[in-house]
Structure 1
């Protein structure tokens, strides 16, 4: 595949040029922004089993990471503070390293079947405070830490993105078998996947076992 290059004459480099491409912002789009979690935002968060968290390190490296658990896994501590349990993952710690370097975070909450999303921006800290972790335990397993977010702004996004994508439409679901398994794709991009299909199947099965054993 040849390298794509942007033509300099078409680059948008300043806010004036950017704004000239769009109609003025609707007044309601500006007014909907709040600085605390109102009743509707809190209800949305309690129903949400999934969010994406965006972070950025001191050197400008951006990262977006998924977080998911049973609906209500994000705790509302007060009308301007949230706590997100850090469940077991791959231990890259990209999000957590970034928060230590730069506390600014962006959260996007999703609810299956809802076309709207909730956006929360704020400042995050990491804590191992025992009483907080105990509130987010699953069985006897506590998260190693919690991401506590002080809310700066919160607002709902309209349904356009989800309706364009048909994300929740059963008819738009794609056949997972049309792409390799996660394990095979990782091996393809690193050490190389085995040529033996049975060996690859065993690796996929071992991954499923690991999922069950290390979910919490």
Structure 2
């Protein structure tokens, strides 16, 4: 596809110009903001097996990372406090480092089959409290630490994005084999991928690693 050059004179550079482009905010969209977790928000979190956490470092560089586990993996300590176990990953520690530098976080909770989502904004900290971590054991593995989030703002997000994307519709499901494997994509974009046989061995090794280190 041929690239399209952006025309700078169409840039939107202030909120007044932005607001002129859209209708007024519906009253319900304003009223839906809450400062703590009500019973429906708590039930949504208990049902959710997946969330994305957005963080920023002190320079404002943003990062979004997925977190997933069996439903209920996020602990509700009280209506204003959540705790998220940190499971093994690639050890870049981007989200965790960002939280140390800048505690502001945003969470997006997803439930398979639900088109609406739950958004939670707040301030996070890291803890190795053994009593808390003991409640997060899966497959006899205790997480190294937990992310504790002090809730400042929560609201339900409407279904439009999921409806537009047909995310849960099997008819729109794509075959993962239509793109290269994760490692091949990384190698293609960096040092270059090896031949097909060697690549297959690397991919098989990754699958074995998933089995060994999922928890």
| TM-score (ref. length: structure 1) | 0.96
Which residue is 1:161 aligned to? 161
**Partner Cα separation in structure 2 for residue 108 and residue 193 of structure 1:** 34
Which residue is 1:212 aligned to? 211
**Partner Cα separation in structure 2 for residue 5 and residue 85 of structure 1:** 43
Which residue is 1:182 aligned to? 182
1:64-213 to structure 2, matched below 5 A, reads 64-195=64-195, 197-213=196-212
C-alpha deviation, 1:5, in angstroms: 4.5
Secondary structure of the structure 2 residue equivalent to 1:25: coil
Cα-to-partner distance string for 1:39-77 (whole Å, 9 max, x where unaligned)? 000000000000000001111100000000101100000
**Partner Cα separation in structure 1 for residue 178 and residue 108 of structure 2:** 29
Secondary structure of the structure 2 residue equivalent to 1:67: strand
Return closer, same or farther for 1:213/1:150 CA change in 2, 3 Å cut-off: same
Secondary structure of the structure 2 residue equivalent to 1:96: helix
Runs of 5+ consecutive residues of structure 2 not aligned to the other structure: none
Secondary structure of the structure 2 residue equivalent to 1:64: strand
C-alpha deviation, 1:3, in angstroms: 7.1
| TM-score (ref. length: structure 2) | 0.97
**Partner Cα separation in structure 2 for residue 3 and residue 116 of structure 1:** 34
**Partner Cα separation in structure 1 for residue 186 and residue 21 of structure 2:** 40
C-alpha deviation, 1:91, in angstroms: 0.4
Which residue is 2:53 aligned to? 53
**Partner Cα separation in structure 1 for residue 23 and residue 131 of structure 2:** 49
Total equivalences in the alignment? 215
**Partner Cα separation in structure 1 for residue 54 and residue 160 of structure 2:** 21
